[in-house]
Structures are given as C-alpha cells and as structure tokens.
C-alpha cells in the first residue's frame, strides 16, 4: 500500500479502494441473485468467482488503507510532539544561556573589582621567595612540588600584589568553569526530560 500511496494523490487512492470494494460487493451479490434465475444462471455462476476475487481484493485494500491512514496519523502526531519538544528545547537553551552568561558576567565583574582593590590597597613591595612561587606554580598545575622545594633559596621577582592578582584571576576562571559545568548539567537534564516526554 505504501508503494501506491507514494506516487498517487490520497483522494484518488481512497475513491479507488472504495470503488473496488463496492464493485466486488455488487458483483458478488448480483451474481448470487442471477445464478437463481433459470435463463442466465450459467452467467451468474461464471461471474460469482470474479466478484469474490474483486471483493477480497477490495477488503485487502481497505485494510491497507486503514493501516496507512493510522500510521500517517501517528507519524503526524509524533511530528507535532517533536515540534513542541524542539520549541521547548530552544526556549530552555535560551534560558540556560542567559543564566550562565549573566552569572559569568557577575564573576568577571567581581574579579575585576577585586583586582582593582588589590592595585589600590595592597601596596606591599616585598618580593616572594622562590619557594613560595614554586609552591604556587605546583598548586596551579595540580602537582606536588616535590623534594626539590627544600633546596630552593632566594627571593623571586614576584611581588605580593602580582601573586594576589594571579590568584584572583585563577579563582575567577575557576568559578566561570563551575558555572559552565552547572549549565551543561542543567542543559542535559532539561533536554533529556523534554525528549523523554515525547515518547
């Protein structure tokens, strides 16, 4: 049936199927009536099998048509659900994106304000030891500084305000990454729920 419906218009197929069924019914019943008449009974017996074949074919086509229309209805219903889900998905994406962009903007503003405060209020000109810089660098790489730390001596060129600025920037980057991760988690959970509702 799907082969026929793929290239013929729906109205034509519907009329054709109904006409085949009606022709089969009329031919079968008419041949039954005619076969009881004495003069033309032989013609009735001859036409009756043809009418039954047409009737059987018409019933088969009706069943195929009903099945096809049922599947089309289900497909249309599912496509409508998918459209609704896509609209909900786009709306959820916009909300999540707006939320994360706003939070990251606040984090950046806070980081910039803290950096400005460091420049304004931290006036220490003392320099950090090489060991302190090495420990900081190891911690920033998520590594252990190792036994070489005990042999490090001397003072580095890094001053306290520079270290605080770097730490503030790193904290800001960390909080940005946290907000992005939360947004991804929220996005996944929301999208999963939306598309599970389609089933």
As a whole number, mean pLDDT of residues 55-80 equals 87
| Mean pLDDT estimate for the chain | 83
* Alpha carbon separation from 158 to 40, 122, 123, 138, 169 (Å, rounded): 118, 14, 13, 15, 16
Give residue 189's pLDDT: 94
* Domain regions of the chain by residue span: 2-198
Helix/strand/coil percentages in the chain, nearest 5: 85, 5, 10
User: Whose CA is closest to 85, among 11, 190, 155?
Assistant: 190
Give residue 46's pLDDT: 73
pTM of the entire structure? 0.61
Question: Between 146 and 24, where is the model more confident?
Answer: 24
User: Whose CA is closest to 181, among 87, 104, 89?
Assistant: 104
pLDDT tens figures, 102-120:
999 999 999 999 999 988 8
Give residue 35's pLDDT: 62
DSSP symbol at 124: -
Q: Out of 37-46, 52-61, 123-132, 156-165, which region has the weakest mean confidence (pLDDT)?
A: 37-46
pLDDT tens figures, 151-180:
667 888 888 888 889 899 999 999 999 999
Q: How is residue 42 written in tokens? A: 């032989």
As beta bridge partners, residue 117 has none
DSSP symbol at 126: P
Give residue 199's pLDDT: 73
Give residue 26's pLDDT: 87
Give residue 159's pLDDT: 85
Q: Out of 21-35, 45-59, 162-176, which region has the weakest mean confidence (pLDDT)?
A: 21-35
* Alpha carbon separation from 95 to 99, 179, 190 (Å, rounded): 6, 14, 11
């Amino acid at each position: 049936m799907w082969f026929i419906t793929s290239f013929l218009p729906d109205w034509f197929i519907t009329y054709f199927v109904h006409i085949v069924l009606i022709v089969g019914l009329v031919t079968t019943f008419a041949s039954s009536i005619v076969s009881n008449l004495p003069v033309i009974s032989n013609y009735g017996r001859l036409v009756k099998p043809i009418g039954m074949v047409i009737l059987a074919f018409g019933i088969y086509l009706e069943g195929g048509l009903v099945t096809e229309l049922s599947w089309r209805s289900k497909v249309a219903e599912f496509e409508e659900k998918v459209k609704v889900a896509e609209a909900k998905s786009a709306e959820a994406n916009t909300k999540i994106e707006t939320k994360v962009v706003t939070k990251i903007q606040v984090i950046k503003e806070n980081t910039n304000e803290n950096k400005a405060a460091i420049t304004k209020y931290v006036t220490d000109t003392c320099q950090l030891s090489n060991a302190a810089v090495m420990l900081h660098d190891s911690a920033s790489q998520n590594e252990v500084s190792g036994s070489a730390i005990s042999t490090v001596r001397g003072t580095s060129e890094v001053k306290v305000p520079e270290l605080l600025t770097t730490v503030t920037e790193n904290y800001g980057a960390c909080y940005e990454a946290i907000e992005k991760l939360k947004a991804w988690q929220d996005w996944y959970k929301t999208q999963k729920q939306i598309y599970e509702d389609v089933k």
